[in-house]
Amino acid sequence: MRLWGGRFDEGPSEVFERFSGSLHYDSRLFFADIQGSQAWASELARIGIYTRDEAARVRAALDELAADAPANPAYFQQDDEDVHTLVLRKLGEKPGMDELAQRLHTGRSRNEQVSVDFRLWIRGEIADARARLDALLGALVEQAERHPALVLPGYTHLRRAQPVLWGHYVLAYFEMFARDRERLARAAASADALPLGSGALAGSGIPLDRAALARELGFSRITANSLDATSDRDFALEFLFAAAVTFLHLSRLAEDWILYSSEEFGFLELSDQVTSGSSLMPQKKNPDSLELLRGKTGRMLGHFVSLATTIKGTPLSYNRDMQEDKEAVFDAADQLRAGLEMATVVVATAKPKPEPMQEAAAGGWSCATDLAEYLALHGVPFHQAHKIVGTIVRAGLAANRPPEQWTLAQLREHSPAFGEDSLVWLRGTAGVARREIEGGTGPGMVAQAIHAARQRLNKL
Ligand code: ARG
């Protein structure tokens, strides 16, 4: 069915119908469309298009549609142009509803209807994604709590830089995903404005109480400009951006852990639950879950770029181009849900391996900064200290003498400022203890940070 046609001599070609129809995907807006239509029916009763009783019957019949659909797999396999059309047709087919269904669209345009449906849908989806982010945040805090003081190398340029605590490392991801949670909340806040009453573009011609509609549908405000409201897709873009950034973070974690769980690093054991084997090579244990998280990130960024590019250059106000918003958002939402779920299992079941981590952290002269800072704190200008320690590292590498084998006398050949108390910084990963500063990797600070993360989580 179509909701238009009076001014046409012929109907649309089958090719055009197939090309432009959206029911096969916008049926996901079905429940939102019903909700919006029920609020609309109540409003029509207030202004006398329906009697109170008629509005109640329309609402009840719409409830019946909502109950019918899940029970019938063929429900959405129809040739209606879109979900809004389907809902009106199905409503009209209910006994005694034909006339009432024909009145329901009074003063309403699909341009505002699709906007309200999409906003309702995205808000629901964001609430779900945030709950899944909470689970991931929980798994990260548990990972930190289980091994707060394990030491691993901290990297820059993927070269050993300075040792850091596992708890500190894991909480870095906690911060990223906590920001993603806020970003998603901001996208939900953008969607939280009622567009109904905007008409097709110029504002509705019937005297609606928009504030009442907003209240009924759970929107905290109404949109301010009908031209903008019917063609604004910022809320969808913001959702796609927030989802894509979440995936950037998932992808960085994936990249880290693919490396860390490799034979070359050997820092981490991924559980059997999230790895797969090779059909040919019997020894393989591949990190496919993480590779897919990393791989899907391209697709997520693509969704953002796809909608941004669609919106670019559309003249005010609504254009059919905007129908292309939905598949990007639906797929992004599905991937986001699945990705967060997957990452949570990976994080919850991964087991760090203390010895290889500790050994790697102590190697690579990762104590060099501590030695330079020791000299700087004992009167040597930092640039000189940096140079002195650089020559110590060079000599150590040339003589194959790792830091822990250096004696005080040998150090003092490079600078008389080295005292007995400097030797401790050459031993293992003692340097982490020097970083007891807010946001730093000192054990005391990390213990506090883990506690604080747990408190934040409890308050979510
Ligand atoms: N299916 C359209 C969309 O998703 C909404 C219908 C508006 N159609 C129209 N020809 N004005 O944007």
> Which tens digit of pLDDT belongs to each residue from 272-286?
999 999 899 899 999
198 is catalytic: no
Residue 8 lies in a domain: no
**DSSP-based three-state secondary structure for 22:** coil
Instruction: Mark 79-96 as b/e (b = at least 16 C-beta within 10 Å).
Output: ebbbbbbbbbebbbebee
Same domain, 300 and 387: no
Residue 126 lies in a domain: yes
Residue 416 lies in a domain: yes
Same domain, 373 and 348: no
The verdict on the CB of residue 28 being under 6 Å from ligand 1 is no
Atom of ligand 1 nearest to the CA of 111: 7
Residue 354 lies in domain = 111-359
Q: Among 20-24, 70-74, 110-114, where is mean pLDDT lowest?
A: 70-74
Residue 189 lies in a domain: yes
- Greater confidence (429 vs 92) lies with 92
* Cα–ligand 1 centroid distance for 196 (angstroms): 15
Same domain, 318 and 398: no
User: What CATH number is associated with residue 365?
Assistant: 1.10.40.30
* Cα–ligand 1 centroid distance for 448 (angstroms): 53
User: What CATH number is associated with residue 24?
Assistant: 1.10.275.10
Q: Which of 106, 125, 155 is the last residue of a domain?
A: 106
Residue 46 lies in a domain: yes
In this prediction, residues 237-252 reach a mean pLDDT of 98
Pocket test for ligand 1, best of 318, 323, 325 (most atoms within 8 A of CB): 323
The verdict on the CB of residue 193 being under 6 Å from ligand 1 is no
Instruction: Choose the catalytic residue: 262, 276, 278, 383.
Output: 278
In this prediction, residues 205-223 reach a mean pLDDT of 97
Residue 4 lies in a domain: no
Same domain, 196 and 123: yes
Same domain, 259 and 302: yes
User: What CATH number is associated with residue 340?
Assistant: 1.20.200.10
The verdict on the CB of residue 384 being under 6 Å from ligand 1 is no
Same domain, 33 and 74: yes
Residue 397 lies in a domain: yes
Q: Which of 359, 392, 419 is the last residue of a domain?
A: 359
Same domain, 241 and 134: yes
415 is catalytic: no
Same domain, 236 and 210: yes
The verdict on the CB of residue 29 being under 6 Å from ligand 1 is no
Strands (E) across 209-331 are located at 268-269
Same domain, 63 and 153: no
Counting the structural domains of the chain, the total is 3
Q: Which of the four pLDDT bands, split at 50, 70 and 90, describes residue 83?
A: very high
Q: Are 59 and 35 in contact (CB under 8 A)?
A: no
Instruction: Mark 207-239 as b/e (b = at least 16 C-beta within 10 Å).
Output: ebebeebbebbebeebbeebeebbbbbebbbbb
pTM: 0.96
Same domain, 119 and 261: yes
Residue 162 lies in a domain: yes
Same domain, 269 and 224: yes
Percentage of residues in the chain having pLDDT higher than 70: 100
Same domain, 172 and 41: no
Own/partner long-range contacts of 207-210 (Cβ < 8 Å, ≥24 apart): 207/47, 208/43, 208/47, 208/107, 209/43, 209/46
The verdict on the CB of residue 270 being under 6 Å from ligand 1 is no
Q: Which of 337, 359, 381 is the last residue of a domain?
A: 359
Q: Which of the four pLDDT bands, split at 50, 70 and 90, describes residue 5?
A: confident
Among protein residues, the one with the nearest Cα to ligand 1's atom 11 is 111
* Cα–ligand 1 centroid distance for 110 (angstroms): 6
